[in-house]
Structure 1
Amino acid sequence: MDHHTRTLTIALACVATVALVGCDPAATEPTPDTPAATEPATKAPAPSATEEEPAEKKAVPDFVGMGLQSAQDAAQAEGFYSLKSHDSAGRDRMQAFDRNWKVCSQNMAPGKVIPTDTTLDFGAVKLEETCPAGDKQAPEAAGGKMPDLVGESVKAARGALDSGTSITVTDATEDRMVLMESNWKVCTQSLAPGAALNGQPVEFTAVKFEESC
């Protein structure tokens, strides 16, 4: 069937059905330019995640003088849950039983308004000890030189040196084993303060803190 005959046939069919649906012969006639299918619509980008709401801001209470456990409980009651503590005496002791420690200092001044997700750091000493005038800083080896570690806890002295340093600790007065190093203080050191640290072994003598060298 040629093109003219096919168009005429479609037109006659439209006349018969025009009252029902209407018909356009030209629209019904397929053309080579008509695409087989339309392209799918581009997917809309997902909405971006909403940012978290900023933490509430509150004034920091005064915790100095409180037991460490009580201070932590009071801080949490105010919405401060990021808490840590350290040894104010500089002996690098762990606060294993918080009720046995008292707060000497806090890193955020009382009354300062800060977000409640700020970390509060309490400096503390044992209940029977006196708070120092200021937190004692842990010693450290600076510029590859041996620091003066006499009087420091053996644990703090060990922490001041490179982790690969070979260290020997002996009792300065008796033949006891130095087990809890944070309870022992350095009496002597084999390298003088200021000596170059070149990986050489270091020897300490020590006694318990309540003892004299």
Structure 2
Amino acid sequence: MNTRTLTVALACIATVALVGCDPADAEPTPDTPATPQSTAQAPAATPSKATEAPAEAKAVPNFVGMGLQSAQDVAQKEGFAALTSHDSAGRGRAQVFDRNWKVCSQNVAAGKTVPADTTLDFGTVKLEEDCPANDAEAPETADGKMPSLVGKSVKVARKALDSSTSITVTDAVQSRMVLMESNWQVCTQSPSPGAALNGQPVEFTAVKFEEDCP
């Protein structure tokens, strides 16, 4: 065998060896599938409904005879925050300046134990006035009949009627304008007490409370 033939033979052997060892010719190994991760989530815990604790029980102090402002201060100090007041004289006056009013009655008896969120209502009159034996009751229209409103404040009389009622108020002794209606008392009324109310206008004459009706 000459040199050229030997060289060609060796080249062929080398080529075969390289091709046989080529990794590309190896049978591919299938990929191992990844273990799927669970996407299911645990159900959320249902929150329990919060239960509000009941208000603390407190003994109600005696407020009768106190100034309204002082009564309110004491009530708040004792833990009572829901406070209101009204005019015991039945005139419908608002307690704008608390220090000008005194307590005549209270809706919860002194010494009674009640929840601290109970509303305390004080019946009051002006400092220079005497407390009535009982709170004056507000008049009401019953069975569509005109109530008796003589002696009531014009403010209370107006409130006793339907809000759509046409009402005229005139001074019974002079020609003054009736402006602060809680300071005026009814002297006469038309229609008369007991008359049927069918939407007709209502008329009052009035004087100030410190005056006498003519």
TM range (shorter): 0.7 to 0.9
Q: Which moved more, 1:49-58 or 1:171-180?
A: 49-58
- What CA distance in whole angstroms lies between the structure 2 residues aligned with 1:70 and 1:125? 14
- What CA distance in whole angstroms lies between the structure 1 residues aligned with 2:68 and 2:32? 89
The aligned runs of 1:16-31 (5 Å cut-off) are: none
1:157 equivalent to 2:153? Answer no
Does the residue aligned with 2:134 lie in a helix, a strand or coil? Answer: coil
Aligned to 1:114: 114
- What CA distance in whole angstroms lies between the structure 2 residues aligned with 1:103 and 1:38? 72
- What CA distance in whole angstroms lies between the structure 2 residues aligned with 1:42 and 1:164? 63
Aligned to 1:70: 70
Aligned to 2:172: 172
1:44 equivalent to 2:80? Answer no
- What CA distance in whole angstroms lies between the structure 2 residues aligned with 1:95 and 1:159? 18
- What CA distance in whole angstroms lies between the structure 2 residues aligned with 1:192 and 1:81? 44
Aligned to 2:56: 56
TM-superposed CA distance for 1:46, in Å, is 3.4
Does the residue aligned with 1:145 lie in a helix, a strand or coil? Answer: coil
Task: Spell out, residue by residue over 1:151-195, the C-alpha distance to the aligned partner (whole angstroms, 9 max, x if none).
Answer: 000000000000010000000000000000000000000101111
Task: Spell out, residue by residue over 1:37-58, the C-alpha distance to the aligned partner (whole angstroms, 9 max, x if none).
Answer: 7451342233224212111111
Q: Which moved more, 1:151-160 or 1:138-147?
A: 138-147
Aligned to 2:140: 140
Q: Amino acid of the residue matched to residue 92 of structure 1?
A: G
1:185 equivalent to 2:185? Answer yes
- What CA distance in whole angstroms lies between the structure 1 residues aligned with 2:208 and 2:46? 65
Give the count of matched residue pairs: 187
- What CA distance in whole angstroms lies between the structure 2 residues aligned with 1:161 and 1:61? 37
- What CA distance in whole angstroms lies between the structure 2 residues aligned with 1:40 and 1:194? 77
> TM-score, with normalisation over the residues of structure 1?
0.82
Q: Which moved more, 1:153-162 or 1:193-202?
A: 193-202
- What CA distance in whole angstroms lies between the structure 1 residues aligned with 2:164 and 2:182? 20
Does the residue aligned with 1:152 lie in a helix, a strand or coil? Answer: coil
- What CA distance in whole angstroms lies between the structure 1 residues aligned with 2:143 and 2:112? 37
Q: Amino acid of the residue matched to residue 207 of structure 1?
A: V
- What CA distance in whole angstroms lies between the structure 2 residues aligned with 1:199 and 1:102? 39
Aligned to 1:20: none
TM-superposed CA distance for 1:109, in Å, is 0.3
The structure with the largest alpha-carbon Rg is: 2
Gaps of 5+ in 1: 11-27
> TM-score, with normalisation over the residues of structure 2?
0.82
Q: Amino acid of the residue matched to residue 202 of structure 1?
A: V
Q: Amino acid of the residue matched to residue 95 of structure 2?
A: Q
- What CA distance in whole angstroms lies between the structure 2 residues aligned with 1:75 and 1:175? 45
- What CA distance in whole angstroms lies between the structure 1 residues aligned with 2:42 and 2:195? 71
Q: Which moved more, 1:192-201 or 1:170-179?
A: 192-201
| Identity score, percent | 71
- What CA distance in whole angstroms lies between the structure 1 residues aligned with 2:193 and 2:61? 42
Task: Spell out, residue by residue over 1:99-151, the C-alpha distance to the aligned partner (whole angstroms, 9 max, x if none).
Answer: 00000000000000001110000000000000000011111111111000000
TM-superposed CA distance for 1:36, in Å, is 6.7
